[in-house]
């Protein structure tokens, strides 16, 4: 009896103890969760800060490039210089340590590449414009042949650039693109970025990747700088050159060609027919450049950022940013 009388009190204290334990356990769980959450938030905040910092360092890399290109302009003015691979701007910025990471960068000459927008002139005003167009198409077709790419894509590329909706022989216009899923239209204007090629009928990723190292998309008709062009582009300039001979030219490019005449005089021995050679290339080439690509790479903690900017150096040496994008060609932004 005595025992059974005491039972409710024991039961009560037992329940109270369990409740207390539960409360402690619950409080512990909540405390652990809060701490974990805080650590997660701190990490997330740190990543956001690092990301932002990496971006600003990359912009700093761009500013470094602009400064170098302006300095080069000043140097060139003094000595009537060219743009070539022996100059300061063409040397990569070695990996430089920064707080919690590293920065590196490089500048490439875009005028060493074939400008895809050279394939179309909106209103050819005279015979020279028409000749220029024919020559540019020939150069591009020779580049395709060197890279073993089906030359039928040239018509589709020109249709993509020209402002009419009339398909040329192997071309494609809205009637082809509107049947795709999702449907789209031909740009009918200059390309902003070479990645637009992937939208063009007949151009697949394999063709694009083969072409990509040798082409660019610049906002005006440009000459090819023979001081920086790779052998494939030099070979495409004239039907009188082979890739082998063009490789000899780029390998022997020990110092810069000071004028286009110097280039022709120094390289005509490589041509099959010396007399045709000059006529082929005289109007297509140059020894200076106005368009460059700036690559900035930044690593801060676990964040890695690559920024690719297209810049234009104007005739007064000032440098404008035309496009700025992550390395993968996505999200093109114009300033
Ligand atoms: Ca220069
Ligand atoms: Ca068109």
Encode pLDDT of 241-274 as tens digits.
999 999 999 998 877 899 999 999 999 999 999 8
Query: Structural domain of residue 320, as residue ranges?
Result: 45-111+290-334
| 90 located within any domain | yes
Q: How many domains does the chain have?
A: 1
Asked if residues 133 and 120 have their Cβ atoms less than 8 Å apart, the reply is yes
* Ligand nearest, relative to CA of residue 258: 1
pLDDT over 80 (residue 5): no
Inside any domain, residue 295: yes
Q: Is the pLDDT of residue 330 over 70?
A: no
In sequence order, which residues have a C-beta less than 8 Å from that of residue 335 and are 6 or more positions away? Answer: 320, 321, 322, 323, 324
In a domain, 16, yes or no: no
pLDDT bin (cut points 50, 70, 90) of residue 331 is: very low
Q: Residue 147 domain-assigned?
A: no
Ligand 2 centre from 174 Cα, in Å? 8
Scan for tokens 């693109």, then name that residue.
Answer: 177
pLDDT in the model for residue 269 = 93
The CA angle 306-335-209, to the nearest 5 degrees, is 45
Q: Looking at residue 252, what is its pLDDT?
A: 86
Strand locations in the chain, DSSP E? Answer: 93-98, 101-109, 114-115, 215-216, 224-225, 285-286, 291-300, 303-313, 319-326, 333-334
**pLDDT > 70: what percent of the chain?**
95
- Is the distance from CB of 292 to CB of 90 less than 8 angstroms? no
| Mean residue pLDDT across the chain | 91
Q: Is the confidence at residue 333, as pLDDT, over 50?
A: no
Q: Is residue 57 in a domain?
A: yes
Range 230-248 average pLDDT: 96
Predicted pLDDT at 6 = 54
Instruction: Quote the pTM value.
Output: 0.86
Q: Measured in angstroms, how far is the CA atom of residue 153 from the centroid of ligand 2? A: 14
Residue 219 lies in a domain: no
Centre of ligand 1 to C-alpha 82, Å, is: 5
Q: Which ligand is nearest to the CA of 122?
A: 2
Residue 335's pLDDT band (cuts 50, 70, 90): very low
Structural domain includes residue 103: yes
pLDDT at 8: 66
Q: Is residue 196 part of a domain?
A: no
Structure tokens at 267: 């390289």
Distance from Cα 161 to the centre of ligand 2, integer Å: 6
Q: How far is the CA of 188 from the centre of ligand 2 (A)?
A: 5
| Structure-token pair, residue 198 | 């992937």
Q: How far is CA 325 from the centre of its chain?
A: 8
The CB density around residue 95, as the number of other CB atoms within 10 Å, is: 12
CATH of the domain at 74: 3.30.1300.30
- List of long-range contacts for 180-189, beta carbons under 8 Å, 24+ apart: 186/159, 186/160, 187/160, 187/161, 188/160, 188/161, 188/162, 188/163, 188/164, 189/161, 189/163
| Tens digits of residue pLDDT in 10-34 | 777 888 888 999 999 999 999 999 9
Residue 188 backbone zone (phi > 0: left; psi -120 to 50: alpha; other: beta): left
Distance between Cα 212 and ligand 1 center (Å): 25
Q: How far apart, in Å, do the first and last CA atoms of the chain sit?
A: 92
């Amino acid at each position: 009896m005595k025992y059974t009388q005491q039972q409710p009190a024991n039961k009560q204290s037992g329940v109270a103890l369990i409740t207390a334990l539960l409360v402690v356990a619950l409080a512990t769980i909540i405390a652990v969760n809060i701490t974990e959450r805080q650590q997660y938030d701190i990490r997330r905040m740190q990543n956001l800060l690092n990301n932002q910092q990496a971006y600003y360092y990359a912009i700093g890399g761009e500013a470094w490039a602009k400064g170098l290109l302006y300095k080069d302009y000043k140097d060139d003015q003094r000595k009537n210089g060219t743009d070539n691979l022996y100059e300061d701007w063409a040397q990569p910025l070695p990996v430089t340590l920064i707080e919690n990471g590293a920065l590196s960068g490089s500048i490439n000459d875009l005028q060493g590449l074939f400008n895809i927008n050279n394939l179309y002139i909106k209103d050819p005003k005279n015979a020279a414009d028409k000749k220029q167009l024919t020559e540019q198409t020939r150069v591009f077709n020779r580049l395709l042949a060197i890279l073993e790419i089906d030359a039928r894509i040239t018509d589709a590329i020109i249709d993509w650039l020209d402002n009419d909706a009339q398909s040329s022989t192997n071309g494609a216009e809205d009637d082809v693109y509107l049947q795709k899923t999702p449907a789209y239209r031909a740009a009918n204007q200059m390309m902003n970025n070479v990645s637009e090629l992937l939208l063009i009928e007949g151009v697949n990723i394999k063709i694009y990747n083969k072409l990509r190292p040798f082409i660019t998309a610049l906002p005006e008709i440009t000459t090819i700088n023979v001081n920086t062009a790779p052998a494939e582009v030099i070979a495409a300039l004239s039907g009188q050159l082979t890739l082998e001979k063009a490789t000899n030219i780029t390998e022997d490019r020990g110092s810069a060609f000071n004028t286009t005449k110097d280039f022709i005089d120094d390289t005509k021995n490589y041509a099959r027919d010396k007399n045709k050679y000059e006529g082929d290339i005289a109007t297509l080439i140059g020894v200076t450049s106005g368009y460059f690509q700036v690559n900035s790479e930044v690593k801060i903690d676990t964040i890695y950022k690559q920024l690719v900017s297209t810049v234009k150096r104007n005739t007064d040496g000032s440098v404008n940013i035309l496009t700025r994008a992550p390395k993968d060609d996505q999200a093109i932004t114009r300033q």
